[in-house]
Structures are given as structure tokens and as C-alpha cells.
Amino acid sequence: MRSTPAVALLLFACALALLPACAPAIGDSCTSDFNCSISLDRRCDRARPGGACTIFGCEADTCPNDALCVRWRPEPSRLTFTACMAACEQDGDCRVDDGYRCLAADDIRETAEGGDVVAEVVDVERGGRFCVSTDPNPGD
């Protein structure tokens, strides 16, 4: 059976429509930006253990529903950046094998003894907890 150009175009359009449904979620492991999105609207944060798909430069209510916008290093402001982080309710919602835990921004401090908070949730209305790596050398 021979395919007509219209049928081929229809099949191609259907395949494209399914691509967003297959996109990795915020917080999924990655090794390159293309692991997170073929359109590069999501980036791979390779500074995190196992890499983590994110969207840098987020603002309130701009992250996907399963994520929160977090401002890192709010002071001094020249070091500040924002990134979408996977929202969670418990550690099991995170990639625990890669050293991730479910924490509130107030739980993330400069040192184990306390110190300044290094993150704040920008999505104040949604608030909540997010997955963050607490082990700089997971698997060691």
C-alpha cells in the first residue's frame, strides 16, 4: 500500500503532538540539555548530582505544575539566580538514590550548624517543599 503525502503529513503531525507528553519532568536526571527538551526550553543543571532538568530564570507561577520556582543565594543579589525545582511532599518523591531529599527552603542552610538560608521559594502562593541534593558526592 502506498502512502499519500497527506497521510504522511497527518502521521507526522500526530507524532509531534505526542512529544510534549514524553518530555522529562523537572528534576529528572540528565547529562545534556537535549535529555530535558528537544526544543531546549528546559536545561540540564549538571552541577547537581546526576544532572537535573530545570528551567532557569523562572518567576512566580511560571514553572510546570509539578515544580516550584526557587531563588538561590538571595543575598548578595549579584549571586542570585532562579530555577524550577521538582515539588515534593516527602523524600520518596525525590531521587533519593542520587542523594536528593524533600526540603523546605528554610531547611537549606550555608552550614550544617545553621547560618543563612540559601534558597527561597518564589511561588509564595504554592509554597511548599522541593527536591534538592544534600549529598555532594552521592554513591561514594
| Predicted confidence pLDDT, tens digits, the chain (140 residues) | 455 655 444 444 444 444 444 678 999 999 999 999 999 899 999 999 999 999 999 999 999 999 999 999 887 778 899 999 999 999 999 999 889 999 998 888 765 565 677 888 998 777 789 999 976 554 44
Residue 17 lies in a domain: no
- Does residue 105 form part of some domain? yes
Compute the distance between CA of residue 49 and CA of residue 108 in angstroms, rounded to an integer.
17
- The range of the structural domain enclosing residue 53 comes to 25-133
CB atoms near residue 52 (< 10 Å):
28
Instruction: Identify whether 30 is part of a domain.
Output: yes
The sign one gets for the Cα dihedral 99, 80, 44, 26 is: positive
Does a structural domain hold residue 70? Answer: yes
Task: Tell me, yes or no, whether 62 lies in a domain.
Answer: yes
How many domains, in total, are found in the chain?
A: 1
Residue 62 has what pLDDT?
Answer: 94
